[in-house]
Structures are given as C-alpha cells and as structure tokens.
C-alpha cells in the first residue's frame, strides 16, 4: 500500500474500534462486573493481571485467532462460513453468546458505510471478531494492525468497566492500558500467524465469572 492507503487503513481501524462506533460495547463487561463483585479484581494491579490473562490465554486470545482466520477468509464464502460457525460454538454461556453476536450484528450494520461485497457474504449469526476480521480483510487494513486495534479496544472497554465498577480510577486505568502495550503487540503478532488449531483458553475464573453474572441480581452491565 502507498502511504496514503496506509493512513486510510489506519483511520478506518481507529473509527471501527472507537468507543463511538455503534456496537454497544459499553453495555458489556464479559464477566468482569461479577469478578469485581466477588472481590477477584479489586484494584489496578488486579485488573492488569486479569486483562493480561484474557489477552494471552483467554477469550481475547480466541477472538484474535478468529479475527485472523476471518481476515484471511474474507474472499472465500465457505471458509468464512466455517469460521463463523466455530466462533458461535465457542460462546460458552448465554451472555457471552449475546455479547459477541449482537456486537457482530451491530458492527456489520455500521460497516455498511464502507460498502463491500463481503457484507453480503456474512449471513446468519456472526460473532464480533469474525465481523471485524472479514471487514478488515476486505478493506486490506493489514492483519497485525487490525488485531492490535481489536485487542486494544477490548482492553479499553474493560478498563472503562472497571472504572464504572469502582475498581480503579481513570488515571490508574490509563496506566493499565499503557502497561498492556507490549502484551497486545506480542499477542497480535502471534495471532497473525495462528490457525484455528491454536484456539483454546485457560482462564477458568473468568469463564466462571461470565457464567455467574447471569444470576447477578443488581448489575450495571448485560454480561
């Protein structure tokens, strides 16, 4: 790509991953609200450890692998449909399924402002990372930048969740994001060369928190 094309791709990633992009990410915590309620995440240090685990070994890692496969498969409808089905099957709870599929649907709706035939290919239930990966691939944003942007946006949203749950303040929240930069860069690099065989997570407490949130009586978030 030319320098101008690189800039355009960057602008699209910034827009798509912006908190202002209308996918409703602010209403989901991915189980973090439950973890804060249970005293598993109580401060900035605990939040940092939680996010590092998710990115390197948990749901964010799986999302990155799914995004990478979708990015490469955007021009192959049957391959893209296969990863779409895998992504839905990996949603291990009712709220996780709702979180990823509703955000995926909303992302595709908003992405129609950047017309491309891939939007017609993605039918049925589409998980969020699959939607982002396919659209980013169609617009040739670069795989590793798309992965880094996605992971950073996910972490940023969870930092916002932690702030609203009273786990940390804005200043320390920004510090958490700054400290996560090397982790995000490393995982984006690893995910860029991953295959679906690399799917798998080991963040058991996070998965349990996501399940338990379904019965949390007083809540701010939908997951």
pLDDT in tens, 105-140: 999 999 999 999 999 999 899 999 999 999 999 999
CATH number of 44-207: 1.10.4190.10
pLDDT in tens, 17-50: 999 999 999 999 999 999 999 999 999 999 999 9
pLDDT in tens, 66-77: 999 999 999 999
pLDDT in tens, 145-169: 999 999 999 999 999 999 999 999 9
Q: What is the pLDDT of residue 222?
A: 96
| pLDDT of 2 strictly over 70 | no
Residue 175 has phi, psi (to 5 degrees) of -60, -40
DSSP-derived secondary structure letter, 17: T
Q: 44 CB contacts (<8 Å, ≥6 apart)?
A: 167, 168, 172, 173, 175, 176
Q: 76 CB contacts (<8 Å, ≥6 apart)?
A: none
- Domain ranges within the chain, ordered by starting residue: 44-207
Q: What is the pTM of this model?
A: 0.97
């Amino acid at each position: 790509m030319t320098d101008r094309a690189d800039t355009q791709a960057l602008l699209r990633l910034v827009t798509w991953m912006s908190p202002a992009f209308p996918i409703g990410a602010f209403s989901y915590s991915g189980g973090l609200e439950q973890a804060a309620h249970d005293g598993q995440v109580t401060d900035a240090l605990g939040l940092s450890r939680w996010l590092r685990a998710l990115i390197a070994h948990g749901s964010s890692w799986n999302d990155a692998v799914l995004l990478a496969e979708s990015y490469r498969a955007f021009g192959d409808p049957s391959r893209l449909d296969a990863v779409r089905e895998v992504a839905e099957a990996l949603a291990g709870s009712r709220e996780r399924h709702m979180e990823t599929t509703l955000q995926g649907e909303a992302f595709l709706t908003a992405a129609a402002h950047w017309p491309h035939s891939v939007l017609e290919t993605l039918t049925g239930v589409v998980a969020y990372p699959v939607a982002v990966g396919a659209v980013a691939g169609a617009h040739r944003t670069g795989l590793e930048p798309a992965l880094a942007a996605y992971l950073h946006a996910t972490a940023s949203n969870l930092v916002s969740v932690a702030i609203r749950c009273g786990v940390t303040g804005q200043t320390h929240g920004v510090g958490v994001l700054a400290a996560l930069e090397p982790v995000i860069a490393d995982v984006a690099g690893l995910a860029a060369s991953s295959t679906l065989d690399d799917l798998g997570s080991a963040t058991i407490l996070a998965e349990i928190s996501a399940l338990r949130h379904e019965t949390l009586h007083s809540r701010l978030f939908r997951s």
